[in-house]
Amino acid sequence: MARTPGLQPRRAALKMLDAVLRRGETMEQAGGAANGLGNPSDRALARAVAVEVLRWLTDLDALIDSATRDVLPVDAKARMVLRMMLVQWLRLDTPPHAVVATALPLLDGGPKRLAHGVFATLTRKEVRLPDVPSLPAAVVDRWGDRSAAIAAGIAQPPPLDLRLKRPADTARWAERLGGTSLAPGHVRLGRGANVADLPGYDTGDWWVQDLAAAIPASLLGEGGGRRVLDLAAAPGGKSMQLAAAGWQVTALDVNPRRMLRLRENLARVNLEAQTVIADALDWQPEAPFDAVLLDAPCTATGTCRRHPEVLHRIGPRQIAEMADLQATLLARAVGWVKEGGTLVYATCSLEQEEGEHIAARCPLTPDPIRPEELPEGVAPGVGGWLRTDPGMLADAGGLDGFFVARWTA
């Protein structure tokens, strides 16, 4: 039997979606389904189909349900294939005939006629997706009044943010790369750039880091040779920032594979840090540090622009588990800051249980974040804590959701 052109990346996308929605895996974990695709464009297509289905899942299901007499089970293979068919047509501009040709073979031995009929009905009606994706009801309940702005901020995949090793060169690099800058040391490019082919990659002049993700380390200022501990440091963006700012960095992470990546990143940009593979729940430093940065493990719901699977796989159980871990890590980090030193706590989560509720437990003296320390258009909230979300700076491409707080020991 002749192989259907384009079928393999769709099959990989189907496996990724099954791994995320049925087994609760992250897209990073599920991405192995595409590793066997030899062509990079096939791997990119598989990921694009899966990610866009997850971004628009609620609206895709509404369209499917509008065209079926009996509601398909939420985990039915026919529903999953129809989601993929619709997102290719409505979001990836794939012609309907090509959608049908590469989708129906995924249902060998299954309800091909049903899937074809539903898709044909919806194409005849010329249905469209809304301008802004609908969030799952449970997510709206958690995020409340912020939901509409966040939803608008995730309608498109995010741009590419670069963090410069030398912020003084911001204007020069923005011009050379053809990008824009929203803060010193930051350059933003459009989607689709091949990172390794960009000027400055081989010479280590920058690394990829979301604008919001760069804020926590920047709040520690210039190091002047002082010692800083970067907890949960991999893959290394914060450690590179701190080293470039003149800190003597101790980078700690429990994951050997991620720590290897951190070391490779440090080598590429020609920066140094002491790296420690250890569990922060067991490890003890020999002496306290001038500063500690705890960008704590979290549910990562703030990354929903690029990882929309968090909208569907994160719930109260995962949030509670992460909050318990964060509270324990923060309590340990407090004891590792020398008198007069600084502690910064951050999470890339939109959940108050992982941000405000954790920060309220810190016994140190608050050091409020000041407006002049932040990118233009980003401001601290009540009490000097910072909360960002994907709806902020939307006209400029948005940013990830973070919570950040700072104290003095």
Residues recognised as catalytic: 348
DSSP 229: E
**CA–CA distance, 213 with 303 (Å, rounded to integer):** 10
Angle (CA) 383-386-387 rounded to 5° is 120
> What is the amino acid identity at position 409?
A
**CA–CA distance, 96 with 114 (Å, rounded to integer):** 16
Q: Are 237 and 214 in contact (CB under 8 A)?
A: yes
Q: Three-class SS string for 115-180?
A: HHHHHHHHHHCCCCCCCCCCCCHHHHHHHHHHHHHHHHHCCCCCCEEEEECCHHHHHHHHHHHCCE
The length of the chain in residues reads: 409
DSSP 307: -
Cβ-count burial of 191 within 10 angstroms (0-12 exposed, 13-18 middle, 19+ buried)?
exposed
Q: Are 218 and 163 in contact (CB under 8 A)?
A: no
Enter the tokens of residue 55: 């971004």
**What would the DSSP string read from start to end of 55-94?**
HTHHHHHHHHHHT-SSPPPTT-HHHHHHHHHHHHHHTS--
Enter the tokens of residue 218: 């920047």
Residue the block writes with tokens 């989601």 = 83
CA proximity to 363, closest of 384, 387, 343, 346? 343
**Which residues face 407 on adjacent strands?**
343, 366
Let me know how many helices (H) and strands (E) the chain has, helices first.
Answer: 16, 11
The shares of helix, strand and coil residues in the chain, as percent rounded to the nearest 5, are 45, 15, 40
